[in-house]
Amino acid sequence: MSVKTPNLDRIQNPSDLKNLDLDTLKSVADELRAETIDAVSVTGGHLGSALGVVELTTALHHVFDTPDDKVIWDVGHQCYPHKILTERRDRIRTLRQGGGLSGFTKRAESEYDPFGAAHASTSISAGLGFAVARDLKDENRNVIAVIGDGSMTAGMAYEAMNNAGALNSRLIVILNDNDMSIAPPVGAMSHYFSRLVSSQSYRNIRKVGKGVAKALHVQEAARRAEEYMRGMAMGGTLFEEMGFRYVGPIDGHDVSQLVPVLRNVRDGEEGPVLIHVVTQKGKGYAPAEAAADKYHGVAKFNVVTGEQQKSKGGAPSYTGVFAHQLIKEAEADDRVVGVTAAMPGGTGLDKFAERFPDRMFDVGIAEQHAVTFAGGLAADGMKPYCALYSTFLQRGYDQVVHDVAIQKLPVRFAIDRAGLVGADGCTHAGSFDVGYLGALPGMVIMAAADEAELCHMIATANQIDDRPSAFRYPRGNGTGVDLPDVADVLEIGKGRIVREGGSIAILSLGTRLEESLKAADELAAKGFPTTVADARFAKPLDEELILRLAREHEVLITVEEGAVGGFGAFVLHMLAERGALDRGLKIRTMTLPDVFQDQDTPFNMYETAGLNARHIAARALEALGREQEAAQVMAAGVQAE
């Protein structure tokens, strides 16, 4: 579908917006919305949040002198219009593709992205850092942090605001309110007040009033009177108490309202200012406006109908299997509860909530709170399943250590998006959880090789009442195995032999088991029958099984979907402690590479990581000194793909 954008076509970079009148700016915004819709229809991505900030993005680049002025987008999934306006329009249809643009802001990608972000609630902290750096260098530039109301559910945002209010550095925070009702509805009166309190004339009168109040020794009473007058008229008393000047609410889709307020705030000399902008997620695209999630995240879709490209049928998703099995556990045990941090749909707990609405808790973007809240539930006899993406559990690690592990509380961590995640890239990859959880005494860590194994691990976690446990599983669909009618409770710390072989053993943790079996097929075809084992547990290790593999095989390969310092390191440490490395065992550990991998298809990402079948087979042959056969396996794999 071609999009006619005569005004947008003249915008090569933000400087081309500077001298445009308001009517032309509105036309640019309309064309920018159409371009965004068309681009995301090709790539998929976060559409609803991007459509909600089209006018705001246009106004920001019109008023401020980017990239000298720093605009920091919280989370970053709202940055697609920003990318189009900042010299990346010609690449916007490579969004979230291998070798293309990131789906989030990224410093390495553009000077217009001063701070990378894909997790929530970081913008105010980063913005304050830029503001203080500016002040220390005696420079003159504006710093603007754009944060959504959802991100304001995280404590980090308030920590930053508290610090900013105390430092009194000049910082502009734009609260993009597209869901929560934290202030009176937008209307003509609130527009009037917003323009009034951001204007120079108001500030001049305010300064005179302060002088009079000081002379009369009633400055504190005057400050509170003004604060509460504006608080009652417009909302924002909370932000005022934290040291921010509050402006708003204003209509975030009305350029004629946005531009004068942004100019007034830009030209002010005050400390931190918060502008409350009300927007609509999915604005301007009927299918998005009508959808329950406002097209927050979409696959490729038909622009005319809004119909999204359906995923391939077949096996259920791991997330869906988790929800299915957790519901079964909850039906049999009324102590089972679900906890998540603003991701009920992403973790499958929305399905759990449909069945058990009183036993599911979405705490907002607050992973630290989610972990400790689950700890409190566990301490009083409940069975909490804290379902978080691996990359988001990182944000609550201190709470896992201090509030759960030290106290041996039986919180069950359901770790979704383990391993590489495709289009979301390195910011959302579940690379580190095995390592950081494996360091904790008493922790039980399981990794599912397929969807049936996931069911068994959920049932197993439900029976662990004396310590915390975790089970990890990837994004996407399972392998197509049958789900058990009744899930087994696994013996803690025991793996399984999947295939018996000869001189080579492959020990897999997680869903690389399928690739390990393919590698064994390739090795067998070359005359090297191979044993394949599923570790199941990263902690505690099945020492008996691993020692047997080390004793009975010449080569032992460990394979995992995690970073260096995880499962393979645990195996090496145990074997060294038990003296098993002294007998000439050729052991190789295969992990994710020691880099942050950019987005691509999952298969290509694992190709880059060197964790597909041909890499496993070649590594085993190299360990045997069969370099020529290893090269043949690698070459044959390239041709097959």
The residues annotated with a catalytic role in the active site are 281, 367, 395
Within 8 A by CB and 6+ apart from 387, the residues are: 322, 338, 339, 340, 343, 347, 348, 349, 414, 416
In this structure, what are the phi and psi dihedrals at residue 10, rounded to the nearest 5 degrees? -85, -5
Q: Which residues contact 175 (CB under 8 A, 6 or more apart)?
A: 147, 148, 149, 152, 248, 274, 275, 276, 277
Question: What is the arrangement of strands in the sheet containing 537-539, beginning at the earlier edge strand?
Answer: 360-362, 336-340, 383-389, 412-416, 469-472, 444-447, 537-539
Yes or no: say if 102 and 109 are a contact pair by the CB < 8 Å rule.
Answer: yes
C-alpha–C-alpha distance, residues 588 and 568, integer Å = 8
Give ∠ CA 160-50-170 in degrees, rounded to 5: 30
d(CA 613, CA 405): 36
Which residues 6+ apart lie within 8 Å of 350 measured at CB? 323, 344
Q: Could you give the angle at the alpha carbon of 213 between the alpha carbons of 210 and 219, nearest 5°?
A: 85
Burial, 638: exposed, middle or buried (Cβ in 10 Å; 0-12, 13-18, 19+)? exposed
Is the bond leading into 249 cis (omega within 30 degrees of zero)? Answer: yes
- CB distance 449 to 534 below 8 Å: yes
- State the alpha helices, DSSP H only, in 138-187: 155-167
Q: 552-575 b/e with 16+ CB inside 10 Å = b?
A: ebebbbbbbbbbebbbbbbbeebb
Q: What are phi and psi of 417, to 5 degrees?
A: 60, 40
Cα–Cα dist 239/108, whole Å = 33
Cβ pair 124, 79 in contact under 8 A: no
User: Alpha carbon 436 to chain centroid distance?
Assistant: 18
Measured CA to CA, the distance from residue 135 to residue 401 in angstroms comes to: 38
Q: Are 155 and 368 in contact (CB under 8 A)?
A: yes
DSSP character at residue 277: E
Q: What is the distance between the alpha carbons of residues 237 and 228, in angstroms, rounded to a whole number? A: 7
In eight-state DSSP terms, residue 301 is B
Angle between helices 54-63 and 255-266 (to 10 degrees): 40
**Residue 274 contacts by C-beta under 8 Å, 6 or more apart in sequence?**
161, 173, 174, 175, 236, 239, 244, 245, 246, 247, 248
The token pair that represents 383 in the structure block: 């069975």
Pick from 427, 368, 423, 361: which is nearest to 393 by CA?
368
Look at residues 193, 206, 125 and name the one whose alpha carbon lies nearest to residue 158. Answer: 125
